[in-house]
Amino acid sequence: MDVPTAPVLFPGQPAPDSAARRRFRALARSAPWLSTSLQFRIQVPEPYAKPDEGLEGELTAILRQREAISVRSADGQLVYQKEKFTADRSHGYVAATNSSWKLPASLTSPVYTSDQLILRRPQISGFNGLLPLEHWEAMLDPVELAGTEPASHDLAFGHPTYIHELAEITHDDRPALAAVLSAGHNYQPTVASCPLVPHGTRTLVVLDRATGLCVNRRVLLAEAQVPPAPELSLQLLAHNQYYIDSLFTAPAPTLTDVRAPIPWELRSERPA
């Protein structure tokens, strides 16, 4: 497949060496291990929006690991809420899904690099329907850019993506790594309908250094037959903060205590 040629985006930066490419790919694998909770603001592109559910425009979300999420609109209205810590784990659940044997990232033992990023990651439990919009999964865990482990040296096209440019930048006042990528032959997007690097494109992807999140994705150049892909943007507001369960659960309805008699006031009508 021919990769389109794009102007150099970071002209002052040298060509990325093998160590820099390994560091970017390790960061792309590391998001589940770099934070226990996230609070972020995200702009939903029109093609991915769900207006009937209030999931459009600018949204603010609180995500606790991969077990609970709460989403509010720009005016502060709650539009989505879901949690797993009260989910049923009966025999039917174990028989019905293959995710029951997968552990959360905090309970697994990946292989780390010398700078405490992930060199090889095991199979871990995914979001499993927790997120309101499926393209969020690719942004919150951009492992598709690197694969779960380094490519074999025996394969000529082992990496999922090619790194054409790489630079350390500041994005929303936070340190980040920005890369110009194109999809390789074995690139497999996490969400088929929303690849971070569409085939036949040169795409800018920005990863937050502290959390590994994809905070920006913008297609720079695409072949004529490639459908347009909207820009994806995420602003990280906080991470590793503590959030109580009540933020993610609907309030229990108020019940009347039927053990106590309800007083009825009787009024006598007297003729004038």
Check if the beta carbon of residue 102 is closer than 8 Å to that of residue 121. Answer: no
Domains of the chain, CATH where assigned: 18-149+159-247 (2.50.20)
Greatest CA separation for the chain: 106
| pLDDT value at residue 266 | 74
Q: Which helix (H) or strand (E) element contains residue 95?
A: helix 91-96
Selected residue with higher pLDDT from 267 and 194: 194
pLDDT tens per residue, range 77-86: 999 999 987 7
- Residue 61 forms beta bridges with which residues? 40, 71
State mean pLDDT over 235-253. 88
Q: How far apart are CA 220 and CA 216, in angstroms?
A: 12
Selected residue with higher pLDDT from 218 and 272: 218
**Is residue 92 over pLDDT 80?**
no
| pLDDT value at residue 225 | 87
Count Cβ atoms below 10 Å from residue 189 Cβ, excluding itself. 18
State mean pLDDT over 81-104. 70
Check if the beta carbon of residue 97 is closer than 8 Å to that of residue 84. Answer: no
pLDDT tens per residue, range 13-22: 778 888 999 9
Express as a percent the part of the chain with pLDDT over 90.
63
Q: Which of 7, 39, 31, 19 is nearest to 214 (CA)?
A: 31
| pLDDT value at residue 1 | 45
Ranges 3-12, 117-126, 231-240: which has the least confidence = 3-12
pTM: 0.85
Output DSSP code: residue 156.
Answer: T
List, in order, residues 6 or more apart from 118 with CB less than 8 Å away. Answer: 26, 29, 30, 33, 110, 111, 112
Check if the beta carbon of residue 58 is closer than 8 Å to that of residue 69. Answer: no
List, in order, residues 6 or more apart from 222 with CB less than 8 Å away. Answer: 4, 198, 200, 201, 202, 228, 229
Express as a percent the part of the chain with pLDDT over 70.
85
Q: How far apart are CA 53 and CA 118, in angstroms?
A: 36
Radius of gyration of the chain (CA): 24
Strand ranges (DSSP E) for the chain? 37-44, 57-64, 68-73, 78-83, 111-112, 118-120, 161-171, 174-183, 201-208, 214-222, 232-239
pLDDT tens per residue, range 115-136: 999 999 998 888 988 999 999 9
